Chain A
Amino acid sequence: MSVTIHIPTPLRRFTSEQGEVQVEGATVGEAMQDLTRRFPSLQRHLFTDEGALRSFVNLFLNDEDVRHLQKEGTPLSSGDTLSIIPSIAGGVSALETAARAVAEELPDLSPAEIRHYSRHLILPEVGTLGQKKLKAAKVLAIGAGGLGSPVGLYLAAAGVGTLGMVDFDVVDESNLHRQVLFGRASVGKPKIQAATERLRDINPHINIVPHETRLDSSNALDLFRDYDIVVDGTDNFPTRYLVNDACVLLGKPNVYGSIFRFEGQVSVFWGARGPCYRCLFPEPPPPGLVPSCAEGGVLGVLPGIIGSLQANEVIKLIVGAGDPLIGRLVLFDALKLKFRELKLRKNPDCPICSEHPTQTELIDYQQFCGIDPREDTVEKDFEMSVAELKKWRDEGREHILLDVRNPPEWEIGRIEGAQLIPLGELQDRLGEIDPAATIVAHCHHGARSAQAVRFLRQMGFSRAINLAGGIDAWSEEVDPSVPRY
């Protein structure tokens, strides 16, 4: 089918000044392909890097917008005329300082900085302009843990000019297998302090901003406002939803990563340009369903991989190189060594990032995630201390000691005489427990066994008691021969 395409004036210099071009094609899409085959330099002005028609480019078939016909699949007849018509769109975004195309206000690089960044500077995709954008950029990392370690190390090394970190925790020995920001000398120190010292050593040319505070709904917006990009390295659902919502409300990109055991996820949630975390997961899982890394374990190198991918996305967003992970979720499986990619769509009814949001401010995320602080204040006979258990054992009081941890934890160490039924199997193995007996349930620190006790009581095991502090407290206060982990 031979059809005529009208080329708008500004694009005629890519068509040897021809205002009308004859092309072949059975559909609008084929005709456009033929056009860009004949004039390849037109491609980038009509289509995005992904091959989609640019949002402001409209195609009219004999004066009818093809979107009202069958879009790019609209069939053509010989002699038809296609017109390329722009809709004119533009405007300011105050959030683009990092990605601004105009370089005139970017800071200069000192000779020492040029030496530090020389391997970036010779990459055409980064170059001096990209490195200056990195210097001008302000990035906030939420959490100085497993994900925050590579994020902080690589972004500091790469020269992100202002790098903020939020954390309130203290370095623990059990952090060292994955949180490579810290070494033995940091154990017991506030993470923020240890991280700041380490990052300053890596790159003295940047500004590290420590925020030793617990992120919550009262401080998130004020904290995020001064940054261009937020990196989510949190380990719990309330904070993850808080980070997402605050980013959407402020129009900032949220570079998301999460890890569990051997699997990780990465995406860039940016409500202004694509879906947000809530478009993907509108509701949090019920509390307790998804165990934390402290409960479920995590492969030490996994946050190294996922956090590095997050740092990579941050740098791409700032420099403007490549295809950012907006609208895509990457799933990584360390055991199979497989990456999978899912396409994400913006939920038109998303309560926070849609055109008509039902939520326009931050909420109580503990409550949103079903974590009721009142659950902690339980009835008196709900739990007992390790000292009491010791006394019971010394006195020979009858009870069943139920260990609800997972088998690998059991392998590390156990309390003598305990019976192992992992929390996940409890429902199916109730028959193994005498309902009339007094049951003392324990786990590592007391959270999983509290769930077990609540469940047991619902099922009629009225004399179930939780061991406060778990096997860790037992080891610390009663029997140091049980290894702590």
Chain B
Amino acid sequence: MIVLSSGDLEAIGLHGEASYPEECCGFLIGRAEASSTVVERVLAVENEREDSRHNRFLIAPETVLAAHKEARSAGLDVVGYYHSHPDHPARPSEFDREHAWPGLSYVIVSVQGGKVAEARSWRLADDRERFEEEAMLQKDIGQKEAV
């Protein structure tokens, strides 16, 4: 299970909409707990691909290092990544599978025609054969419903 605030989820969606029709991407920073991953904040980064930006994204290792340092300085960890699928479902692609590690959360937001359709979170199975969906819980959902 992944837990994040509605504000962070909204930020991911807005990043996806602003980047449409290209893909966006960023880091999920928080804590990996025994039975869940708790996201404390999200960190948007530039897609560093120079080509095929509508269906590919890349974050260079130097940027990853910097994000890890930033997370550690706040006593947190990089617990996963998010990216958008413009005009595609919020499901991991084969390419995603080949470029993933287990133990991390991969949040995918589907942006259809420039608007967020849905967000889902996935984790790679240890045998690398498939992604398994994980439940996504918004920690302040009650608050939001009250508005």
Residues of A within 8 A of B (CB): 8-13, 41, 44-45, 54-56, 58, 60, 65, 83, 85-94, 96, 99-104, 355
Known contacts A87-B58, A101-B129, A101-B131: A92-B64 contact under CB 8 Å? no
B57 beta carbon closer than 8 Å to chain A:
yes
The answer to whether A89 touches B57 (Cβ under 8 A) is: yes
Residue in A closest to B25 when the chains form the complex, CB atoms: A88
Task: Determine the chain A residues whose CB is within 8 A of the CB of B128 once the complex forms.
Answer: 44-45
Residue in B closest to A44 when the chains form the complex, CB atoms: B128
Shortest beta-carbon distance from A130 to chain B in Å:
11
A-B contact sample (8 more), CB < 8 A, given A90-B83, A91-B96: A12-B103, A56-B99, A60-B65, A83-B65, A86-B61, A88-B58, A90-B96, A104-B91
The answer to whether B99 touches A89 (Cβ under 8 A) is: yes
Shortest beta-carbon distance from B34 to chain A in Å:
12
Task: Determine the chain B residues whose CB is within 8 A of the CB of A88 once the complex forms.
Answer: 25, 57-59, 64, 81, 99
The answer to whether B99 touches A55 (Cβ under 8 A) is: yes
Task: Determine the chain A residues whose CB is within 8 A of the CB of B79 once the complex forms.
Answer: 9
Task: Determine the chain B residues whose CB is within 8 A of the CB of A41 once the complex forms.
Answer: 126
Task: Determine the chain B residues whose CB is within 8 A of the CB of A93 once the complex forms.
Answer: 55, 93-95
Shortest beta-carbon distance from A400 to chain B in Å:
62
Task: Determine the chain B residues whose CB is within 8 A of the CB of A83 once the complex forms.
Answer: 65
Q: Name 26 A/B residue pairs within 8 A (Cβ), A-sorted.
A: A9-B32, A9-B103, A11-B101, A65-B61, A85-B61, A86-B61, A87-B58, A87-B61, A88-B58, A88-B59, A89-B57, A89-B59, A90-B95, A91-B55, A91-B56, A91-B85, A91-B93, A91-B96, A92-B95, A93-B95, A94-B55, A94-B88, A100-B93, A101-B94, A102-B130, A104-B91
B60 beta carbon closer than 8 Å to chain A:
yes
B11 beta carbon closer than 8 Å to chain A:
no
Shortest beta-carbon distance from A474 to chain B in Å:
57
Complex Cα–Cα for A344 and B61 (A): 29
Residue in B closest to A87 when the chains form the complex, CB atoms: B61
Complex Cα–Cα for A56 and B52 (A): 17
Shortest beta-carbon distance from B124 to chain A in Å:
9
Complex Cα–Cα for A10 and B28 (A): 13
Shortest beta-carbon distance from B47 to chain A in Å:
9
Known contacts A85-B61, A100-B94, A101-B131: A90-B106 contact under CB 8 Å? yes
Residue in B closest to A103 when the chains form the complex, CB atoms: B130
The answer to whether A92 touches B77 (Cβ under 8 A) is: no
Shortest beta-carbon distance from B32 to chain A in Å:
7
Task: Determine the chain A residues whose CB is within 8 A of the CB of B86 once the complex forms.
Answer: 92
Interface of chain B residues 83 through 110 with chain A (CB within 8 A): 83, 85-86, 88, 91-104, 106
The answer to whether B77 touches A91 (Cβ under 8 A) is: no
| A-B pairs, 8 with minimum CB distance | A10-B103, A88-B59, A91-B56, A58-B61, A96-B94, A90-B96, A85-B61, A92-B88
Complex Cα–Cα for A94 and B85 (A): 11
Complex Cα–Cα for A305 and B59 (A): 45
B78 beta carbon closer than 8 Å to chain A:
yes
Known contacts A87-B61, A88-B81: A102-B56 contact under CB 8 Å? no
Shortest beta-carbon distance from B87 to chain A in Å:
8
Residue in B closest to A67 when the chains form the complex, CB atoms: B61
Q: In the complex, which of the residues B56, B57, B58, B64 contacts A85, with contact meaning CB atoms closer than 8 Å?
A: B64
The answer to whether A90 touches B88 (Cβ under 8 A) is: no
B23 beta carbon closer than 8 Å to chain A:
yes
The answer to whether B95 touches A86 (Cβ under 8 A) is: no
The answer to whether A89 touches B51 (Cβ under 8 A) is: no
Shortest beta-carbon distance from A105 to chain B in Å:
9
Task: Among A56, A89, A96, find the residue whose CB has the most chain B CB atoms closer than 10 A.
Answer: A89
Complex Cα–Cα for A235 and B43 (A): 55
Task: Among A94, A100, A101, find the residue whose CB has the most chain B CB atoms closer than 10 A.
Answer: A101
Complex Cα–Cα for A91 and B101 (A): 15
The answer to whether B104 touches A10 (Cβ under 8 A) is: yes
Residue in B closest to A98 when the chains form the complex, CB atoms: B94
Known contacts A9-B77, A91-B83: A45-B102 contact under CB 8 Å? yes
Task: Determine the chain B residues whose CB is within 8 A of the CB of A12 once the complex forms.
Answer: 103
Task: Determine the chain A residues whose CB is within 8 A of the CB of B104 once the complex forms.
Answer: 10
Known contacts A102-B92, A102-B131: A90-B25 contact under CB 8 Å? yes
Shortest beta-carbon distance from B50 to chain A in Å:
9
Known contacts A58-B61, A96-B94, A99-B94: A86-B101 contact under CB 8 Å? yes
Task: Determine the chain B residues whose CB is within 8 A of the CB of A56 once the complex forms.
Answer: 99
The answer to whether A10 touches B102 (Cβ under 8 A) is: yes
The answer to whether A11 touches B103 (Cβ under 8 A) is: yes
Residue in B closest to A10 when the chains form the complex, CB atoms: B103
Task: Determine the chain B residues whose CB is within 8 A of the CB of A94 once the complex forms.
Answer: 55, 88
Known contacts A87-B58, A88-B25: A13-B103 contact under CB 8 Å? yes
